[in-house]
């Protein structure tokens, strides 16, 4: 199979159901943004893999990468058009919420705003958090126009929360203080 098909040379691409749309279509932008998040998660896994005190996080991140592919698939499939197509469900949302709860118990409550930074792994978590927020902005219109399920929108919202927590956990486990915002 060739990597290039030439079918997109006129500025259009195909959705999962075969519908052709402009590459600037909000649906295309949304799953492109999710793909960017997934690439950043891959970088984070690479950074964490050699550190024994972060390996438990890596296991969850690999699962999240699979879920992000499912999210991209869900976004590429116009709502209710293709049956038996991978979809984000309450199960994936619960996984993220369980991760948030599991890692949050390691942390002291925040008493001030923190700046992105600290260790390289924490900094990468903050990059992922902000790219995820940008993805959420691209996804919101699809959700509000009933073009995607609520689960897609809730999932991406929980994901940015998780990466905020993970940034703090990375700093704590590596004896690096969070960077407190000075007003």
What share of the chain has pLDDT > 90, as a percent?
70
Name residues whose C-beta falls within 8 Å of residue 112's C-beta, 6 or more positions apart in sequence. 180, 181
Residue that wins the pLDDT comparison between 96 and 77: 96
Q: What is the pLDDT of residue 137?
A: 93
Model confidence at 82, pLDDT cuts 50, 70, 90, reads low
Residue 13 has pLDDT above 70, yes or no: yes
Residue 18 has pLDDT above 80, yes or no: no
Of the listed ranges 13-17, 32-36, 71-75, 114-118, the least confidently predicted one is: 13-17
Q: Cβ distance 68 to 37 under 8 Å?
A: yes
Model confidence at 104, pLDDT cuts 50, 70, 90, reads very high
Nearest Cα neighbor of 125 from 97, 160, 82, 156 is 160
Show the domains of the chain with their CATH numbers.
Answer: 25-78+85-180 (1.20.1200.10)
* Across 92-102, average pLDDT: 98
pTM (whole model) above 0.75: yes
- Helical packing angle, 90-104 and 150-173, nearest 10°: 20
* DSSP character at residue 14: E
* Across 9-14, average pLDDT: 76
Give per-residue pLDDT as tens, 48-79. 999 999 999 999 999 999 999 999 999 988 76
Q: What is the pLDDT of residue 54?
A: 94
Model confidence at 80, pLDDT cuts 50, 70, 90, reads low
Q: Cβ distance 116 to 175 under 8 Å?
A: no
Name residues whose C-beta falls within 8 Å of residue 66's C-beta, 6 or more positions apart in sequence. none
Give per-residue pLDDT as tens, 131-166. 999 999 999 989 988 788 899 999 999 999 999 999
């Amino acid at each position: 199979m060739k990597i290039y098909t030439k079918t997109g040379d006129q500025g259009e691409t195909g959705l999962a159901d075969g519908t052709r749309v402009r590459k600037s279509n909000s649906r295309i932008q949304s799953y492109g943004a999710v793909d960017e998040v997934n690439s950043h998660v891959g970088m984070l896994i690479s950074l964490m893999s050699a550190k024994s005190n972060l390996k438990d996080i890596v296991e969850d991140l690999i699962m999240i990468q699979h879920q992000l592919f499912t999210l991209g698939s869900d976004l590429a499939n116009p709502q209710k058009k293709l049956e038996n197509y991978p979809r984000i469900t309450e199960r994936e949302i619960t996984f993220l919420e369980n991760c948030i709860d599991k890692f949050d118990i390691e942390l002291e409550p925040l008493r001030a705003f923190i700046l992105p930074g600290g260790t390289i792994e924490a900094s990468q978590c903050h990059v992922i958090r902000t790219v995820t927020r940008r993805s959420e902005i691209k996804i919101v219109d699809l959700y509000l126009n009933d073009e995607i399920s609520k689960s897609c929108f809730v999932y991406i919202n929980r994901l940015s929360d998780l990466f905020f927590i993970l940034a703090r956990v990375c700093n704590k486990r590596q004896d690096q203080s969070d960077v407190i915002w000075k007003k």
